[in-house]
Amino acid sequence: MQIFGILFNISQPSFEAGYPKRVFYDARDIPNLPCARCGKKMLPKLEAENFLSKIRPSLRRCLKKLQSLKDIKEYQLLEELAEKYPRENIDQILSHQSSFASKPINKQIPEFIINRIKAVTFNASAVVRKLQKYRKYMSETNLELLDIMEIYAKKYPNLTLLEIITHPEVYGYHKRMVKMEKDTLEVKSQRVFKRMERIAEKMGKGKNEELKVLNLETLRVIQNRTNYDDTDECLENLYEDFISKINNRKDADKFKKLVKELPFAKTNPHRIIVKAAENHSPFGIIYHFFDRTNTFEHIKPKSQKGVNLQHNGIYMCADCNTKRGTTPYKKLFLKSADFGTFVQKQASMIMRYIMRGKLIRYDFYPQEVKKTLYEESGHIFKLDIKKYLKSQIEKSQAEIQKRKESCKKADEELRQIKKELTNLIQRQNALNSNQAKNNQKLIYEENKLNNYRQSLHEEENYG
């Protein structure tokens, strides 16, 4: 989550007639924009980024907690940076890196060191306390995770998130819970596997062994892969070749139904904590709290040469964006009747912001994204933008009329100025002519004066 202002100094956005007073240049920053997939209100990207940046302590404070870095050759540079920017964290320091050294700081300091510095957060109590204001954006799983971390923060008030999740008692408990969940999934899966084996027995010698190998691979997927949109497809693809060898149609249909009965692991606090601890990353937990952050969703995936431009995007929460993966939009519209409704709801809100002048540089977004959605949905979904177009036509016509009147007024003023300018030029020419005559007379009179003086001088000498 790529992904300013100082969050903790930002007051709640003020609204004017239902719209924020500020103007937006990115739809991801619109407050409470509904997700195009689940329809839930999303956390503005800017606010999430500010929070994630601000829970990192200053570089000076981080270095005190990372004494092991003293042995690296870049440590002196880190100390110089900490002294130059005593109150800034690594994100802020990197933002003005070009003014400090001959080449960017992140080119002088290895990425793994920067990541270690970024992993240092304030103590868990402070982080958990600041997270409370975002509860309305959290799923039930994340609310449960936050409650668990709040309990740990009270139990270990002086520890950071990383120190808590890697604590032997904490990590050990959640590791056991994940193991129990995997064991449960295995038991449920084995029941289905046995019914599959009965069908395989009818197919002849050797098929059961082939199926057992396939089931072992399936069990690994079931225990480790959490429920994404393509989970059904994932298992269907695993068994696709085997099902094609079942000659009896009824048995083949029965086998397909059994595949759909297989369970899947679900994202839960135990898995999140264990994974974050094993990756040595407290942000593995924190990012989960922001899974409702507004993100740009590529309608045509980047992996399929989808461009990173406005017309190829709608907006989904981070969780829905991840779950979508590369699932074709045609399938998404066919699979969920609500998808089209939520896409329209989101687009309508964006269009209202554009019409109100609250979202800049998006004037042609509705027309362009409509074409993309229509093409990528296999001509299933047509975004309704009639109201927007009518409003924009009226607005453009009013603007054109306003500009015409302004041009007419300007033309009249120009004519008046030209008239005045002509008069001024004529006066200037007359003044220039008079000035020339006066200059000639002046020269004539000065010459006369000189002649008279000369004559007088000669007359006096003669007498």
Range 89-110 burial, b when 16+ CB lie within 10 A, else e: bbbbbbeebeebeeeebeeebe
Residue 121: name the closest of 273, 280, 291 by CA.
Answer: 280
Residue 315: name the closest of 334, 341, 296, 342 by CA.
Answer: 296
292 vs 138: CA distance, rounded Å: 7
> What CA–CA distances, in Å, run from 353 to 9, 22, 215, 365?
25, 11, 52, 12
Task: Assess whether pLDDT exceeds 70 at residue 150.
Answer: yes
Residues ≥6 apart with Cβ < 8 Å to 27: 33, 294, 315, 350, 353, 359, 362
* Listed range (81-95, 343-357, 431-445) with the worst mean pLDDT: 81-95
> What CA–CA distances, in Å, run from 346 to 32, 321, 323, 335, 457?
10, 15, 19, 19, 104
205 vs 407: CA distance, rounded Å: 90
The reported pLDDT for the residue numbered 399 is 93
320 vs 457: CA distance, rounded Å: 111
Task: Assess whether pLDDT exceeds 90 at residue 228.
Answer: no
Q: What are the pLDDT digits (tens) for 52-78?
A: 878 888 999 899 888 888 889 889 989
Q: What are the pLDDT digits (tens) for 274-310?
A: 999 998 888 888 988 999 999 999 999 988 888 999 9
The reported pLDDT for the residue numbered 12 is 47
5: phi > 0 → left, psi -120 to 50 → alpha, else beta; which?
left
CB 159: neighbour CB atoms within 10 A? Answer: 18
Cβ atoms of residues 109 and 78 within 8 Å: yes
Q: What are the pLDDT digits (tens) for 404-446?
A: 999 999 999 999 999 999 999 999 999 999 999 999 999 999 9
87: phi > 0 → left, psi -120 to 50 → alpha, else beta; which?
alpha
The reported pLDDT for the residue numbered 288 is 87
The reported pLDDT for the residue numbered 280 is 86
Task: Assess whether pLDDT exceeds 80 at residue 96.
Answer: no
Q: What are the pLDDT digits (tens) for 159-189?
A: 989 899 999 999 999 999 999 999 999 999 9
Task: Assess whether pLDDT exceeds 70 at residue 1.
Answer: no
CB 130: neighbour CB atoms within 10 A? Answer: 15
Q: What are the pLDDT digits (tens) for 194-213?
A: 999 999 998 887 888 999 99
The reported pLDDT for the residue numbered 183 is 96
Q: In the structure encoding, which two tokens stand for residue 183, read together?
A: 């064991």
* Listed range (40-49, 220-229, 257-266) with the worst mean pLDDT: 220-229
Range 285-318 burial, b when 16+ CB lie within 10 A, else e: bbbbbbbbbbbbbbbbbeeeebeeeebbbbbbbb
SS (H, E, C) 361-382: CCCCHHHHHHHHHHHHCCCCCC
Domain positions in the chain? 168-269
Q: What does the DSSP 8-state code read for residue 40?
A: -
Calculate mean pLDDT across residues 100-115.
Answer: 77
Cβ atoms of residues 231 and 225 within 8 Å: yes
The reported pLDDT for the residue numbered 266 is 84
Cβ atoms of residues 339 and 24 within 8 Å: no
Residue type at 198 in one-letter notation: R
Q: In the structure encoding, which two tokens stand for residue 127, read together?
A: 């982080």
What pTM did the predictor assign? Answer: 0.76
Cβ atoms of residues 347 and 369 within 8 Å: yes
